[in-house]
Amino acid sequence: MTDTTKNAFGTRITAEDIVETLEFFDSWEDRYKYIIDLGKELPAMDADKKNDAHIVRGCQSQVWIDAQLVDGRYWFEADSDAFIVKGLLGVVLAAYNGKAAADIQSFDIEAYFDTIGLLKHLSLTRGNGLRAMVERIKATTAPA
């Protein structure tokens, strides 16, 4: 991942944008469609990065996350084999992409998920997978 500008999450699509947009929809069916559409905004991950080094354990679907530190900010590349999960990755990356490690560690992701009502509308296994994605990012950016 050399071009951080190709990923809109954290730059052109922020956590605040997602909260505002989801509040606009009345039904969770429409919210799910929006989340799936977010996943379509994720740039494709190179096939050679879809390996054991980048896989996120604990997800129902296959999920890969790679991180690059550029000028003190983390940029994430992520992918999944499931459309809804790609969208959930977009929701997570909107909160974390382009941020310094301290900002990632201090961001209240649970409050963010609560604000959009996400976890109560996901199956237990999807919710666990979402938390596994967050844990992977936090572990990657944790101080040594």
Among the four given CATH numbers 3.90.1010.10, 3.40.50.2300, 3.40.50.970, 3.40.718.10, the one describing domain 4-141: 3.90.1010.10
What Rg do the C-alpha atoms of the chain give, in angstroms? 14
Instruction: Please give the pLDDT value at position 1.
Output: 42
Boundaries of every domain in the chain: 4-141
Return the pLDDT at 44: 87
122 a catalytic residue: no
Catalytic pick from 18, 35, 59, 89? 59
- Please give the span between the terminal C-alpha atoms of the chain, in angstroms, as a whole number: 23
| Under 8 Å between Cβ of 122 and 32 | no
Say if residues 137 and 67 touch (Cβ distance below 8 Å). Answer: yes
Tens digit of each residue's pLDDT (9 = 90 or more) over 81-128: 999 999 999 999 999 999 999 999 999 999 999 999 998 999 889 999
